Amino acid sequence: MSRADFRRRQSRRRRQKLARMSRHLPTLILLLAITVLVGGGIFALYRFVLAKQPDGTVQVIASSGNGSPNPDRGSNSDRYPDSSSGPTSGGDSSNQPFAEVPQDDISRLIAQADRIAMGYDYDKAAELINSSGLDLKDSRMTEALARYESEKAALVPADMNAVTHIFFHSLIMDTSKAFDGDSDSANYNSVMTTKDEFLKILEDMYQKGYVLVRIHDVAYEAPDENGNVHFVKGSVMLPEGKKPFVMSQDDVCYYPYMDGDGFAKRVVIGEDGKPTCEMVMDDGTTSTGSYDLIPLLEDFIQEHPDFSYKGARAIIAFTGYEGILGYRTASSYQDSPTYEADREQAARVAQCLKDNGWELASHSWGHLHLGVADDPEAGFAIDEERFRADTDKWEAEVESLIGPTDIILYPYGNDIADWRPYHQDNPRFAYLESKGFRYFCNVDASKPAWIQMGHDYLRMARRNLDGYRLYEDMIQEDPAKKRLSDLFDSSQIFDTSRPTPVTWNYGQTQNETPANETTAAQQ
């Protein structure tokens, strides 16, 4: 056969083959279309139905938004890179069969567990993985578990005798309104902290290795070998160089006198289920956002999960004489058409706070001097009848909304005793204890920490980080007498929009006259 005959035969065979294929082409197209439709249906069923069902394994957090670590933020990005971008082994996931899709769940699960581990709760992070129902033999799972175990082993016990407790009042959002020279300005300048100061304080303390803990982490009630309950010192395990601290905020009530002075209006529940704030803007509209300590601290912890020990948040303390959280819940407002609605919403917000790790506390009902008088010979500042009536009223009007609490933050720091331990022969201690209080906090900025643990109580001094304290620390020329230098450099924190000098002017807008700055814990 010649070369030309061979080429003609090959060409004829190709034409015959194409003819046969063309006859089956409609069938092939139909089969392809069916395959695409079926495959798309299966994917949609998994993506939008099955993947959202509560299968008892794990709640998977999306790789973007709340809950996933950001590799560009926080000091733990090196240890916890963003694992939510897909599988880290096995090649290009787009070429994997459909059965490999759950591997994305592993990435998201590890991202969620990593965030928990950033808060030093390695056991909880490991439990999340072990109970997920996903493939524990996957290398990413075994590597994560090994990493948690290694980092847990490197933790050291924190000194629970040196835990400092800092506190704030409502934060000033608009200094031009707070410091406008009216009758309240001096009080705001003394005892309030501005938003800018608060954010700088958080950043500086974070850089110095401070980690927020609960007051219940410092000490707690536990049964002894005989079943008798008593207080024991807590055990907080942190990386070397980290230091625990407690934070609280007083008077989270948004009193009417604060209207129009540059503060938030009330605490509400945000669309994400977390507590946030409303504030009235200059044009009269109401904006929802980070307008006080609660949402600002939430924001900071979201950015820096390692700033919070096992999800700890601050203590939020309420009086009752005008209501709580910006809602007019006091009995004096019972004729208001919104009274019942205010009480119901305040209760919901209080529960939201507790659900998100915040601890709630009493600040008395009437913001009274509950403890000793300025003159030791005078005994207590108010009589016993008024003390008990105020305590009972707080129980009826505030505790009935927020639920039981065992923390009381004394107004003005005015403690019910001097520095010596509490005893049952102190009628005020006995009465407060009968109402369920176990944690008692005064004010003393003269030392970094003061803690007294009794058989049935914990007593703790707090440090005021307000305008007065910041200013006094800033102008103090003797480094040894600077009271805040362990936390930050006050000169770098102090808001220059404040009128100076800042003098002590606390209590002029409250129910009582001001007390001395340090009325307790003096040794």
Q: Could you report the per-residue pLDDT of 250-281, keeping only the tens digit for each?
A: 999 999 999 999 999 999 999 999 999 999 99
What is d(CA 320, CA 121) in angstroms, rounded to the nearest whole number?
36
Closest CA relative to residue 276, chosen from 302, 310, 307: 302
Q: What percent of the chain has pLDDT over 70?
A: 77
- pLDDT of 339 above 50: yes
pLDDT of the residue at 37: 57
Angle separating helix axes 427-434 and 384-394, nearest 10 degrees: 20
pLDDT of the residue at 505: 82
Three-class SS state of 362: strand
Query: Please, which pLDDT band fits residue 124 given cuts at 50, 70 and 90?
Result: very high
What is d(CA 59, CA 108) in angstroms, rounded to the nearest whole number?
9
- Whose structure tokens read 């008692």? 440
- Calculate the alpha carbon distances from 54 to 43, 132, 355 in Å: 18, 12, 21
Residue 257, CB-side half-sphere exposure with 13 Å CA sphere? 14
Single-letter amino acid code for the residue at 152: K
What is d(CA 520, CA 452) in angstroms, rounded to the nearest whole number?
12
Greater pLDDT, 367 or 20: 367
Got the DSSP string for 153-173? HT-EE--TTS-EEEEE-SEES
- Whose structure tokens read 């007498």? 481
Cis check: omega of the bond before 54, within 30 degrees of 0: no
Greater pLDDT, 239 or 39: 239
Residues in the chain: 523
- pLDDT of 51 above 90: no
Instruction: Give pLDDT tens digits for 277-327.
Output: 999 999 999 999 999 999 999 999 999 999 999 999 999 999 999 999 999
What number is the average pLDDT over the span 416-424?
Answer: 95
Single-letter amino acid code for the residue at 300: F
DSSP letter at 273?
S
pLDDT of the residue at 374: 86
Q: Would you tell me how many other CB atoms lie within 10 Å of the CB of residue 357? A: 16
Instruction: Give pLDDT tens digits for 341-393.
Output: 999 999 999 999 999 999 999 999 999 999 999 887 889 999 999 999 999 99
pLDDT of the residue at 377: 81
- Calculate the alpha carbon distances from 83 to 43, 51, 80, 89, 144 in Å: 23, 19, 8, 11, 11
Query: Please, which pLDDT band fits residue 54 given cuts at 50, 70 and 90?
Result: very low
pLDDT of the residue at 426: 97
CA angle in degrees (0–180, nearest 5) for 309-312-313: 140
Q: Would you tell me how many other CB atoms lie within 10 Å of the CB of residue 373? A: 15
- pLDDT of 52 above 90: no
Query: Please, which pLDDT band fits residue 152 given cuts at 50, 70 and 90?
Result: very high
- pLDDT of 78 above 70: no
401 and 346 in contact (C-beta within 8 Å)?
yes
Instruction: Give pLDDT tens digits for 196-215.
Output: 999 999 999 999 999 999 99
pLDDT of the residue at 459: 98
Q: Which two tokens stand for residue 195?
A: 């938003």
483 and 493 in contact (C-beta within 8 Å)?
no
- pLDDT of 101 above 60: no
Q: Starting at the earlier edge strand, list the strands of the sheet with 275-280.
A: 266-269, 275-280, 286-289
Total H helices, total E strands in the chain: 15, 18
Does this model's pTM top 0.95?
Answer: no
Instruction: Give pLDDT tens digits for 367-377.
Output: 999 999 988 78
- pLDDT of 21 above 90: no
**Strand 266-269 vs strand 243-249: parallel, antiparallel, or unpaired?**
unpaired
Closest CA relative to residue 458, chosen from 487, 484, 432: 432
What is d(CA 435, CA 370) in angstroms, rounded to the nearest whole number?
15
- pLDDT of 12 above 80: no
Closest CA relative to residue 445, chosen from 420, 470, 411, 408: 470
What is d(CA 495, CA 173) in angstroms, rounded to the nearest whole number?
12
pLDDT of the residue at 243: 98
What number is the average pLDDT over the span 449-477?
Answer: 97
321 and 365 in contact (C-beta within 8 Å)?
yes
Closest CA relative to residue 101, chosen from 86, 122, 117: 86
What is d(CA 437, CA 432) in angstroms, rounded to the nearest whole number?
6
Query: Please, which pLDDT band fits residue 520 given cuts at 50, 70 and 90?
Result: very low
CA angle in degrees (0–180, nearest 5) for 196-443-256: 55
What is d(CA 388, CA 394) in angstroms, rounded to the nearest whole number?
10
pLDDT of the residue at 195: 98
How confident is the prediction for the chain on average, in pLDDT? 84
Q: Would you tell me how many other CB atoms lie within 10 Å of the CB of residue 377? A: 5
